[in-house]
A and B are shown apart, each in its own frame.
Chain A
Amino acid sequence: MASYIARRLIWALVVLFVVAILTFILAYVLPADPARVIAGAHASAEDVARIRHALGLDQPFLVQLGDYLARVFQGNFGHSYKQDRDVLPLILQRFPATLELAAGGIVLELLIGIPLGVLAAVRRGSNSDRAATGLSIVLISAPSFWVGYLLLNFLAFQPLVNAGIGIFPLSGV
């Protein structure tokens, strides 16, 4: 079990690493010029060039990627220009909510999944097995944002509008 968890954790790191590189490449290959976006449409070519240089955006691609990864490994995720704040505090600020959502999701998943799985196993080949398996496949395959909207509609919006029941919030907690 311990080695299984260790393996999973290592693979999770690999996935994060690859995602980080892909995201970096994506931003790099976009035809828009980040230095221009930061400087503003009115900045002169000279001022844009200074900003590009100050941010290291005039370096070769591999140097930029290396710098980026080196900073990430040191816990420096950079600065969000859109929000004028460092990225790490922004992530940390939202992390508890993500954790809460994930934990809640896992609890629900277990509460529904285990009984259904047991049912399917005990009554193998029966209609209830087929129904449980079918439902699982449909829900797993459905895009989560779509399922999310359906849940919002049927659990939060409809009860609120039709019966004034507001157990589930429409947004936020």
Chain B
Amino acid sequence: MKPNGIVRRLGPLVTAAVLVASCSSSQATSSPAASGGTPSHGGTLSTAYQGDIQSLDPAIAYDTESWAMEELLFSTLVTFDRNAKLVPELAESMPTLPADGKTYTFTLRKGVNFVKSDGSVLREMTADDVVYSLNRVLDPNLTPNPSPVATSFFGNIVGAADVIAGKVTAASGIKALDPNTVEIDLVQPDSTLLDVLADPFGSIVPKEYAKEDSAAFSAAPIGTGPFYLKSYTKGQEAVFVRNPQYWQAGLPYLDEIDVHVGVDANSQLQQVEAGTLDITGDPFPSGSFTSVVNDPRYKDRIVHQTLVSVLYIWMDTQSQDTPLKDAKVRQAVNYAINKDNILKIVHNEGVIANCIFPPSMPAGYDPNCKPYTYDVAKAKQLMADAGYPNGFSTTFYTDTADPDPQIAQAIQQDLAAINIKVNIVTQEWATFLTTAETPHAAPMGYVSWYQDYPDPSDFVDPILSCATAVKGGSNFALYCNKDVDAKAAAARGEQDPAKRTAEYQAIESQIMADAPWVPIWHQDWYTLLSPRVQTFYLHPVWYYDLGNYSVSGG
């Protein structure tokens, strides 16, 4: 998905990709008040974003701002805790892992109620709602448009293809065994089913309210989350109020959360400084980044976290008209790029990417992966070995948003050192995306990938598999290695976490050797808090876990 408002928006809607970070690298604590003590109950927390909340329909919304809001309103069968670990939510416990890896059975928590927009109980949630909610994501007749992840996330469920094709309205593989038990059957073993169900796309909605009109449900969403939507004035403010019916006793801490929209990043900083806002929702403006981060007054009030993301250069591995189809040339490009230099352009707002998987994704990250370190002599040697001692010319595409064009220029200089003459073309995001996903239209380019969920499969299958090396696919390098594909399919179904991680690390090494990319850096997400924010952390998947925060003197 996409980080909203982040430097590299995925487009107006899209905007998004995903994110974040987690456990391993939390470098800052929240406000001093946060240390120790029990969180206070009550009070109002405020945050602000430049952009409107795109949608509050969980079948549709695909950006981090909307996801943070949906986490307030809805619950899922399982969810990600603050360390990106899968834990039960509406399910009483994690499903036992089936021997064949194809059947998942969930026992639902009893006494969970849907809450209306006045705080009263609509009714109790049942297995029928779960079955309905998951089928709704597959519904081809959702208006104004079907879900963007029906095929990619839910297509492996038995019978899903028939629903997507409009042949039936319910998938045979999603079954209510009794009012408290749901079974999901898969075509192929796939442990990412749980990740998919934990994403907001797996939110459980009441079947009589969430119909095929997505815009209508988005305007008056009803769920089982810790808050309900009291009001939302587009372009101004959304007000979320504590759900008095929430199933988890003693939670949430806050009485109310105000989300202001249409507030630019500079104003967000000023308002937090003035004490009229508690959290900056968007990244700091790049012009103020260094001064804010180095301001001693903010020392204890800045929180940052490495996102589960990678920003990289792709190279057309099947290029017909450039030498980039030669792996030696692509390895030379890897050796030629000075990543430290690029990190300076972005004010060190992140960490160098040695390989593909980010350090904030424990399942898969390999601290011992072999990176290509900056070595111009070695790069020149590889170019000579490949038969291109005099280099070649090529075109490099990037988005127009800062700092991408500056990064492209740094790359251009690095490549000039090994005689690769790069012509930079910058395009507005939506156009850039169309160019990038048109095979061979862009021999090289710079782009980002933010997780959909913190699992290594999300860094292989959607962007580095043969199936996605097609027109309209996100595999801009057109990388297709049948052996990697086979190993990735096996790893995806592997049930043993340690074995699975080892398998993905082997896949990563093999891809690195083929060098379809130059992984450059992993971004950090920064936010500034007001002194009254008490409990705070950045969440690995939805960045802001607003429903679990608290304010002092609440």
Contact = CB atoms under 8 A, between A and B. Distances in A.
Contacts of B225: none
A40 B234 contact: no
B62 A40 contact: yes
A31 B148 contact: no
A37 B140 contact: no
B141 to A, nearest CB: 8
A41 B14 contact: yes
Contact of A44 (B151, B235, B430): B151
A95 B437 CA distance: 40
A32 B12 contact: no
A45 interface: yes
Interface in B457-475: 462, 468, 470-474
A104 B399 CA distance: 43
Interface string B424-445: 0000101101110100000000
Contacts of B147: 47
Given A36-B472, A41-B474, A47 B152 contact: yes
Interface string B31-73: 0000000000000000000001111000000110000000000
B431 A47 contact: no
Interface string B132-166: 00000000110011111111100100000000100
A81 B12 contact: yes
Contact of A37 (B14, B150, B437, B471): B14
A45 B472 CA distance: 5
Contact of B15 (A40, A44, A79, A84): A40
B151 A46 contact: yes
A108 to B, nearest CB: 29
Contact of B152 (A41, A46, A79, A81): A46
A6 interface: no
Given A33-B433, A37-B12, A84-B215, A44 B462 contact: yes
Interface in A1-47: 30-33, 36-47
B11 interface: yes
A50 interface: yes
Nearest to B8: A41
B234 A49 contact: no
A123 interface: no
Interface of B is mostly: loop
Nearest to A41: B10
A50 B146 contact: yes
Contact of A45 (B17, B218, B235, B468): B468
Contacts of A85: 215, 219, 234
Contacts of B17: 40-42
A169 B212 CA distance: 44
Interface in B1-21: 1-2, 10-18
Interface string A37-78: 111111111111111001100000000000000000000000
A43 B434 contact: no
B452 interface: yes
A43 B471 contact: no
Nearest to B56: A84
B146 A41 contact: no
Given A36-B434, A84-B215, A45 B473 contact: yes
Residue among B148, B434, B470 facing the most chain A CB atoms (10 A cut-off): B148
Interface residues of A, number: 29
B149 A32 contact: no
Contact of B215 (A40, A42, A55, A79): A79
Nearest to B15: A40
Contact of A42 (B145, B151, B431, B462): B462
B274 to A, nearest CB: 19
Interface string B468-489: 1011111000000000000000
A83 interface: yes
B260 to A, nearest CB: 16
A85 B215 CA distance: 7
A37 B146 contact: no
Nearest to B234: A83
B472 A31 contact: no
Residue among B16, B140, B141, B146 facing the most chain A CB atoms (10 A cut-off): B146
Contacts of B462: 42, 44
Interface in A81-104: 81-86
B192 to A, nearest CB: 14
A119 to B, nearest CB: 45
Contact of B11 (A41, A49, A84): A41
A31 B434 contact: yes
A55 B433 CA distance: 20
A39 B151 CA distance: 12
Interface in B205-225: 215, 218-219
A47 B144 CA distance: 14
B434 A45 contact: no
A61 to B, nearest CB: 17
Contact of B430 (A32, A45, A47, A54): A32
Given A42-B1, A83-B235, 20 more contacts: A30-B431, A31-B434, A33-B430, A37-B430, A38-B145, A38-B148, A39-B14, A40-B16, A40-B62, A40-B148, A41-B433, A42-B462, A43-B62, A44-B473, A47-B152, A54-B141, A81-B12, A83-B52, A84-B54, A85-B215
19 contacts: A36-B437, A36-B472, A37-B430, A38-B148, A40-B14, A41-B11, A42-B2, A42-B152, A44-B462, A44-B468, A45-B471, A46-B155, A47-B148, A47-B149, A47-B150, A55-B145, A79-B144, A84-B215, A84-B218
Interface of A: 30-33, 36-51, 54-55, 79, 81-86
